[in-house]
Structure 1
Amino acid sequence: MKRLILPFLLLSTTAFSQSNLKPAIDKKATSIESKVIEWRRDFHKYPELGNQEFRTAKVIAEHLRSLGMEVTENVAVTGVVGVLKGGKPGPMVALRADMDALPVTERNDLLFKSVNTATYNGQETGVMHACGHDSHMAILMGVAEVMASMKDQLKGSVKFIFQPAEEGVYDAD
């Protein structure tokens, strides 16, 4: 997972002309790798269709708040936006992850296999993260944690956008 987190962090800090933070970023990314894997597995086990990401949004919002961010919920129905203000003046950049899962029944025996179902087109079906959105959310949560741990050194702000219903719009019944 560190190999996945690091490019996002380097891209973010490069946008702020802060590549000198790379050693600190690398160390922090390594220290939270198991947490990112745990988040990914949790999101994979409990996927939700677009505009129904209520549990997912709650997990994300609680995490961003625990990092001291300003958090806005219910954006475009179930989206979450967190703002991390750096300690120094500078631009704002945005990083985004998609939150929704697909109406697909998972057919494997992972320990974190999807357990959720939903009604889709009038039929009960399995729901799963088949496109990597579980990883996208977990990685962005990890990036948020790493960047929050060094916010005093950041020039500018970062907006963390967790977008619902990226795969399509579903009723939020």
Structure 2
Amino acid sequence: MKKLILITVLLFGSISMAQEPNLTNDYKLVEKKVIEWRREIHQNPELSNREFKTAEKIAAHLNSLGIAVQTGVAHTGVVGILKGNQPGKVVALRADIDALPVTERNNLEFKSTVSSEFLGEQVGVMHACGHDTHTAILMGVAEVLSKNKDKIKGTVKFIFQPAEEGAPPGEEGGALLMV
């Protein structure tokens, strides 16, 4: 949650707010959602270029906030565009959405039990690098900013990138395709 607050504060400073917003209540309202999203995404990881359900979840959330959504970017990526009510610069915030071919070995109630084929073998799949957290935090930032659209000078792009860990052999993916 501290990352969510930091990112939002930095974003507000970067895009020049018309007035100083009081975001305390917005943060409190979204904090539980961010934790729930993180746990759900953690429990349901998807490998690079296979992030179909994750992308659907992200797109549905952004759509529910009235944010313009582009899907299928770089295969399974999602881009949300929030235009503030005043003209200004464009700021982009990015989160990675893919998981790794790693079996989770812990006793968390929301641990991954997902397995998938990777390089011709069945392997466990988990969010071992925090992409589940990155995604949930950016979804929370999108919610907070969408509620404060009237105070934003400029445009915010929310970029949810697939295949950050690298595309499967023989496929393209990742940041270059997002650009």
Q: Which TM-score band (shorter chain)?
A: over 0.9
Structure 2 residues without counterparts, runs of 5 or longer: 172-179
CA contact (8 A) 2:18 2:152 kept: no
**Local SS of the residue matching 2:47:** coil
For residues 61-101 of structure 1, the C-alpha deviation after alignment (integer angstroms, 9 at most, x for no partner) is 00000000110000000000000010111111000000000
Give 1:4's aligned residue.
3
The one of 112, 115, 118 equivalent to 1:114 is 112
**C-alpha displacement of 1:17:** 2.2
Query: Number of matched residues?
Result: 170
Identity %: 55
Aligned-partner Cα distance in 1 for 2:33–2:18 = 24
CA contact (8 A) 1:10 1:19 kept: no
Structure 1 residues without counterparts, runs of 5 or longer: none
CA contact (8 A) 2:18 2:151 kept: no
The one of 27, 31, 34 equivalent to 1:33 is 31
- What TM-score does the superposition give when structure 2 sets the normalisation length? 0.91
**C-alpha displacement of 1:19:** 8.8
Over aligned residue pairs, what C-alpha RMSD do you find?
Answer: 1.4
Aligned-partner Cα distance in 2 for 1:18–1:34 = 26
Give 2:49's aligned residue.
51
**C-alpha displacement of 1:18:** 2.5
**C-alpha displacement of 1:170:** 2.0
The code of the aligned residue for 2:7 comes to F
Aligned-partner Cα distance in 2 for 1:108–1:19 = 47
CA contact (8 A) 1:9 1:25 kept: no
Give 2:177's aligned residue.
none
The one of 96, 99, 102 equivalent to 1:101 is 99
Aligned-partner Cα distance in 1 for 2:16–2:8 = 12
- What TM-score does the superposition give when structure 1 sets the normalisation length? 0.94
The code of the aligned residue for 2:60 comes to E
**Local SS of the residue matching 1:156:** strand
CA contact (8 A) 2:18 2:153 kept: no
CA contact (8 A) 1:49 1:127 kept: yes
Moved over 4 A (4+): none
The code of the aligned residue for 2:11 comes to S
